[in-house]
């Protein structure tokens, strides 16, 4: 059982990070469990660099270049969640029609 993918990818994270018991996990549907794991992954991504400043991220990235990409993903997820919660306004430009973009009336 210790090499079962469900144990490694499902039960252990839910039990460890969400303090769920084995019986609680067994009582939920697969759909609910996947939702919990997705939410846990999003939460972990959003808060991966809490406590760091942009300058300290730059210092860390000197030793590991992949940190910039992970930090950018964290900032992207945070911005998307803040936009969904109404904390931050969308920075997307309004959609313009093809003819308007080309200057054709």
Altogether, the residues listed in the chain come to a count of 105
Residue with tokens 């000197």: 62
Q: Tell whether 102 is covered by a domain.
A: no
**50 burial type by CB count under 10 A (0-12 exposed, 13-18 middle, 19+ buried):** exposed
Q: Tell whether 92 is covered by a domain.
A: no
Q: Please provide the DSSP assignment of 90-103 as one string.
A: --PPPP--HHHHHT
Q: Are 99 and 105 in contact (CB under 8 A)?
A: yes
Expressed as residue numbers, the domain containing 66 is: 50-87
Q: Tell whether 27 is covered by a domain.
A: yes
Domain count, the chain: 2
Rounded-to-integer distance, Cα 23 and Cα 46, Å: 29
Whether the pTM exceeds 0.75: the reply is: no
> Per-residue confidence of the chain (105 residues) as pLDDT tens digits?
567 777 777 788 888 888 999 899 899 998 998 899 899 999 999 999 999 988 898 898 898 889 989 999 999 999 888 888 887 766 666 666 767 767 776
Domain identity same for 42 and 61: no
- Would you give the DSSP letter of residue 18? S
């Amino acid at each position: 059982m210790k090499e079962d993918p469900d144990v490694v990818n499902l039960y252990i994270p839910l039990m460890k990070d969400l303090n769920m018991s084995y019986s609680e996990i067994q009582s939920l549907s697969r759909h609910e469990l996947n939702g919990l794991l997705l939410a846990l992954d999003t939460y972990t991504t959003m808060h991966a660099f809490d406590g760091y400043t942009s300058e300290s991220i730059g210092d860390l990235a000197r030793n590991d270049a992949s940190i910039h990409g992970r930090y950018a993903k964290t900032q992207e997820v945070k911005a998307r969640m803040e936009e969904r919660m109404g904390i931050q306004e969308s920075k997307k430009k309004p959609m313009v029609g093809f003819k308007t973009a080309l200057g054709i009336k």
